[in-house]
């Protein structure tokens, strides 16, 4: 009986080891494991109203998102990872799959956002300017890019941190959007 | 001379307490409101750097959060209102001092349980060491017996060199 006491540390080690291997598997599978939990899932979008970016006459607000399934995408011309997902978002727009609303976050130079969109293409239905993180904090954002899937009633159904890749789109985002569109 | 030195020393010692990432242009003109903003800021985690409060962090998002805290305080929110606003968006994670509730039970109780278990283990080990067996035996796992004649001769030989 007493001998089993010496096995306790070994047992603890085995449990920790299995847990670590599982986590590693997730990382190698392309899943970020340091995701902060979002408390906004399945809750209404926070009320916000954003001014247009320079050179445009319309920004957008929470009311614009009602009535259809939309993606709200947070980006910035300073954000390198945003450039990675951008061509894919442009493709989504070209195919007319789902309207994407852009939040241009924390531009120091007000012309930087519009220039960036002119250069890399504009996948957005409407773009709002968020230079002082008003909307970003309201959405509980920690970094760019982040994307939210919002349903017809303005309820946030999903939050994706990091660039939208074809894999994420096919496996998670697109199936969810189609599911939400079902009456 | 000594008085001057003491004064400088006191000032230097007081310095770390006032070093913050809070920039002059953010500070509210009303010192009472600013003090409340500091109080709130100290308890809010910078969600970018994760181990600093927003008052200590130089990240841009932390700065925007500090400004938001001040705006809400100026608008008449209580400290708790501002904290609730942030928790509503970022979850309990944004609090540097997480609340005691079901989801955080392991966080609060865990270290204590481990410490008690460890202490229990130590007590068991020492009791066994002092009561049931000799100390040597516990360390080596072998019962200490007097040397045999052959062993004694070998030992003497070794010591001679």
Other beta carbons within 10 angstroms of residue B139's beta carbon come to 9
Residue A55 lies in a domain: yes
B100 interface with A at CB cutoff 8 Å:
no
Residue A119 lies in a domain: yes
Are A85 and A116 found together in one domain? yes
CB contact under 8 A, B91 and A39: yes
- Distance to chain A for B85, nearest Cα, Å: 9
Are A129 and A82 found together in one domain? yes
pTM: 0.72
* φ/ψ (deg, to 5) at A103: -110, 110
From first to last of the 183 residues of chain A, give the pLDDT tens digit. Answer: 667 778 888 888 999 999 888 877 766 655 554 455 578 888 999 999 999 999 999 999 999 999 999 999 999 999 999 999 999 999 999 999 999 999 999 999 999 999 999 999 999 999 999 999 999 999 999 888 999 999 999 999 999 989 999 999 999 999 999 999 998
ipTM confidence: 0.77
Question: What distances in angstroms separate CA A104 from CA A51, A55, B52, one per listed residue?
Answer: 10, 13, 26
CATH number, domain with residue A163: 3.40.30.10
pLDDT of A130? 96
Are A14 and A71 found together in one domain? no
pLDDT, one tens digit per residue, over B9-66 is: 777 776 655 556 788 888 898 999 999 999 999 999 988 887 889 999 989 999 999 9
pLDDT, one tens digit per residue, over B135-151 is: 555 555 566 677 788 88
Residue A39 lies in a domain: no
Tell me which residues of chain B, numbers 19 to 48, contact chain A at a CB-CB cutoff of 8 Å: 47-48
Residue A1 lies in a domain: yes
If one counts the domains in chain A, the total is 2
Which domain covers residue A16, as residue numbers?
A: 1-34
CB contact under 8 A, B89 and A140: yes
CB contact under 8 A, A40 and B65: no
């Amino acid at each position: 009986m007493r001998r089993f006491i010496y096995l306790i540390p070994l047992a603890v080690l085995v449990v920790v080891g299995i847990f670590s291997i599982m986590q590693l598997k997730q990382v190698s599978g392309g899943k970020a494991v340091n995701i902060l939990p979002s408390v906004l899932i399945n809750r209404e979008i926070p009320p916000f109203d954003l001014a247009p970016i320079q050179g445009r006459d319309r920004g957008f607000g929470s009311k614009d998102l009602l009535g259809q399934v939309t993606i709200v995408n947070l980006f910035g011309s300073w954000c390198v990872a945003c450039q990675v997902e951008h061509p894919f978002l442009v493709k989504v727009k070209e195919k007319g799959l789902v309207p994407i609303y852009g939040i241009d976050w924390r531009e120091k130079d007000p012309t930087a956002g519009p220039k960036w969109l002119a250069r890399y293409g504009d996948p957005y239905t409407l773009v709002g300017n968020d230079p002082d993180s008003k909307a970003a904090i309201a959405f509980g954002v920690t970094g760019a890019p982040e994307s939210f899937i919002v349903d017809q009633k303005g309820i946030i159904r999903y939050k994706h941190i990091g660039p939208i890749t074809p894999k994420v789109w096919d496996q998670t985002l697109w199936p969810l959007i189609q599911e939400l569109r079902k009456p | 001379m000594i008085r001057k030195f003491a004064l400088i020393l006191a000032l230097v010692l007081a310095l770390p307490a006032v070093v913050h990432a809070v920039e002059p242009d953010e500070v509210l003109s009303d010192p009472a409101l600013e003090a409340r903003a500091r109080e709130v800021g100290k308890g809010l985690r910078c969600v970018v750097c994760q181990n600093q409060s927003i008052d200590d962090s130089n990240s841009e998002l932390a700065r925007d959060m500090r400004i938001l805290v001040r705006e809400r305080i100026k608008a008449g929110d209580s400290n708790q209102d501002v904290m609730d606003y942030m928790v509503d968006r970022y979850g309990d994670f944004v609090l540097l001092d997480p609340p005691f509730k079901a989801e955080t039970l392991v966080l609060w109780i865990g270290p204590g349980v481990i410490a008690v278990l460890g202490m229990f283990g130590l007590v068991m080990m020492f009791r066994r060491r002092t009561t049931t067996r000799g100390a040597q035996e516990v360390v080596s796992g072998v019962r200490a017996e007097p040397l045999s004649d052959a062993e004694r001769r070998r030992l003497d030989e070794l010591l001679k060199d």
